[in-house]
Amino acid sequence: MARRDGIVGANRRVYRWDLDKTYLRTEFDTVRDLLRTAFESAAQKRTVPGAAALLREIHATEPLGIYIVSGSPEQLRRVLEAKLRLDGITWDGFTLKPQLSNILRGRFRFVKDQVGYKLGALFDSRAELPEAIDEFMFGDDAEADAFIYSLYADLCAGRVSADTLAEVLERAGVYEDDLPRIVRLAGKVPRFDTTRRIFIHLDRVSAPDGFEAFGPRVCPFYNYLQPAFVLLGEGAIDPLGVLRVAAELVIHHGFTADALVASFSDVARRGYVKPEGPARLLDAFDAVEETHFATTYATLAAFVEQLAEAARDLPEPAPVAEVELDYVSLFSRDKARARMAKERLMRH
Q: What's the pLDDT score for residue 100?
A: 63
Query: How confident is the model over 136-170, as pLDDT tens digits?
Result: 999 999 889 999 999 999 999 999 999 999 999 99
Query: How confident is the model over 14-68, as pLDDT tens digits?
Result: 999 999 899 998 765 444 544 455 557 787 788 899 999 999 999 999 999 999 9
Of 113 and 180, more confident: 180
Return the number of other C-beta atoms located less than 10 Å from residue 194's C-beta.
26
Task: Please give the Cα distance from 142 to 120 (Å, whole number).
Answer: 20
Distance of CA 345 to the CA centre of its chain: 21
Q: What's the pLDDT score for residue 102?
A: 62
Residue 209, SS3 per DSSP: helix
Of 118 and 103, more confident: 118
Q: What's the pLDDT score for residue 17?
A: 96
> Of 142-151, 240-249, 276-285, 321-330, where does the model show the most confidence?
240-249
Q: What mean pLDDT, rounded, does the chain reach?
A: 87
Positive or negative: CA dihedral 328, 329, 334, 336: positive
Domains annotated for the chain, with CATH where assigned, are 10-221+325-347 (3.40.50.1000), 232-317 (no CATH)
In contact, 272 and 316? CB cutoff 8 Å: no
Q: What's the pLDDT score for residue 34?
A: 44
pLDDT confidence tier of residue 344, bands split at 50, 70 and 90: low
Q: What's the pLDDT score for residue 25?
A: 81
pLDDT at 232 over 60: yes
The radius of gyration of the chain's CA atoms, rounded to the nearest angstrom, is 20
User: Which region among 103-107, 154-158, 247-251, 294-298 has the lowest average model confidence (pLDDT)?
Assistant: 103-107
Q: What's the pLDDT score for residue 11?
A: 82
Q: What's the pLDDT score for residue 109?
A: 62
Which are the contacts of 323, defined by CB distance < 8 A and separation ≥ 6?
A: 214, 215, 216, 217
pLDDT at 4 over 60: no
Of 205 and 221, more confident: 221
Of 337 and 291, more confident: 291
Q: Which residues of 78-95 are buried (b: 16+ CB within 10 A; e: fewer)?
A: ebbbebbeebebebebbb
User: Which region among 194-203, 206-215, 251-260 has the lowest average model confidence (pLDDT)?
Assistant: 206-215
pTM confidence score = 0.90
pLDDT confidence tier of residue 5, bands split at 50, 70 and 90: very low
In contact, 175 and 110? CB cutoff 8 Å: yes
End-to-end CA distance of the chain: 46
In contact, 65 and 16? CB cutoff 8 Å: no
pLDDT at 8 over 60: no
Q: What's the pLDDT score for residue 311?
A: 85
User: Strands 93-97 and 13-17, how do they pair?
Assistant: unpaired
Please give the average per-residue pLDDT across 110-132, as a whole number: 88
Residues in the chain, overall count: 348
Which are the contacts of 205, defined by CB distance < 8 A and separation ≥ 6?
A: 222, 345
